[in-house]
Amino acid sequence: MSKVLLAENAGFCFGVQRAVEEAIKIQKQYNKKIYTLGPLIHNNDVVNYLEENNIFAIDYNEIDQLEQDDVIVIRSHGVTKKVIEDLENRGLIVVNATCPYVTNIQKKVNKFSEKGYNIVILGDKKHPEVIGINGWCNDSAIITKDGSFDEKLPNKICVVSQTTEKQENWKNTVTNLSLKSKEVLAFNTICQATEVRQKSADNLSKIVDTMIVIGGRNSSNTTKLYEIAKKNCSNTIHIENAKELTKEFIESNKGKKVGITAGASTPDWIIKEVIDIMEGNN
């Protein structure tokens, strides 16, 4: 049995909770198979749960398979303006469950690009949230992964951040932009949910022997929690669910202090399973 400490803030964030609840509500309302554009969240267990409730993910390049009046839910990451227009033009019923914080970024990018600002996004250019945001300024944004810029920068810049970025990268970005460009309008759009999770993971990982970070393998906010925890606690592991806890791991942590945190797309029931196993209740 280990002594388990759960991070003060861990698991589902407001935007993800809202998107999942919205999809379940809409499915009940239409009482038929409904779709989400891409997996609603980065968690295989939740995806399975949604499928049991007649909610299926579909890729944008498979959209021809849908018929008029089929219902499609936009996930919390959001999409480009063009994608929404295309779905509506196809006669689909579009339910936009984009997180309001992401919608706010899209609106800013749209507004300031129309006012003649060149948009810079701090984030991962392959992440759907960043691809979506870029679509609100005609895919014209300069995207930096850590605040470094190789290219010459234009003089009028509006900069925003992917919601899951680190503050450190944001500071870097603003500092470098200020040195290289004359007018910089900066909106720190890093989400509080991400920050508080990161802070809690940082605090907890300093006082435990082992850290368990729970979340999807392809979830960027979970990966960041892992990196933060690993800096303080070399014995940090990343798992998707309780099934990945090996006997050796459980045994080797008997009597030790184990900290647990979870990414924004990890539901409570998975966190509970991991706690129960590590506490020896299972």
Where do contacts with ligand SF4 occur on this chain (CB under 6 A)? 13-16, 76, 99, 101-102, 163, 191, 193-194, 264
Minimum separation from the CB atom of position 262 to ligand SF4 (A)? 13
Structure tokens at 15: 């935007």
Q: CB neighbours of 235 closer than 8 A, spacing ≥ 6?
A: 209, 210, 211
Q: Which is nearer to ligand SF4, 102 or 262 (CB)?
A: 102
**From CA 206, how far away is CA 146, in angstroms rounded?**
25
Whether 238 has a binding-site annotation, put simply, is: no
Tokens of 118: 């060149």
Q: With respect to ligand SF4, which residue has the nearer C-beta, 23 or 233?
A: 23
- Tally Cβ neighbours within 10 Å of residue 84: 18
Active site residue 21: no
- Give the nearer residue to ligand SF4 in terms of CB position, either 188 or 235: 188
Say which of 129, 151, 227, 240 is annotated catalytic: 129
Q: How far is the CB of 246 from ligand SF4 (least distance, A)?
A: 30
Is residue 233 part of an annotated ligand binding site? no
Q: Which is nearer to ligand SF4, 140 or 192 (CB)?
A: 192
Which of 4, 39 has the CB closer to ligand SF4?
Answer: 39
Q: Indicate the residue type of 101.
A: Y
- The DSSP string of 20-55 is HHHHHHHHHHHTS-EEEES-SSS-HHHHHHHHHTTE
To ligand SF4, the closest distance from the beta carbon of 178 in angstroms equals 26
DSSP-based three-state secondary structure for 28: helix
Q: Binding residue per annotation — 221?
A: yes
What is the smallest separation between the CB atom of 193 and ligand SF4, expressed in angstroms? 4
Are the C-beta atoms of 79 and 132 separated by less than 8 Å? Answer: yes
Annotated binding residue 13: yes
Residue nearest to ligand SF4 (CB): 15
DSSP assigned state of 152: P
158 is in an annotated binding site: no
- Closest of 45, 34, 111, 107 to residue 75, by C-alpha: 34
In the complex, what is the shortest distance from the CB of residue 192 to ligand SF4, in angstroms, rounded to a whole number?
7
Tokens 């680190």 belong to 166
Taking the C-alpha atoms of residue 74 and residue 19, their distance in angstroms, rounded to an integer, is: 8
Instruction: Take residue 30 and report the two structure tokens written for it.
Output: 């239409």
What residues pair up with 259 in beta bridges, in sequence order? 5, 211
The answer to whether the annotation marks 200 as part of a ligand binding site is: no
Known binding positions:
13, 42, 77, 99, 127, 163, 191, 219-221, 265
Known binding positions for [4Fe-4S] cluster:
13, 99, 191
**Catalytic (active-site) positions:** 129
Known binding positions for dimethylallyl diphosphate:
42, 77, 127, 219-221, 265
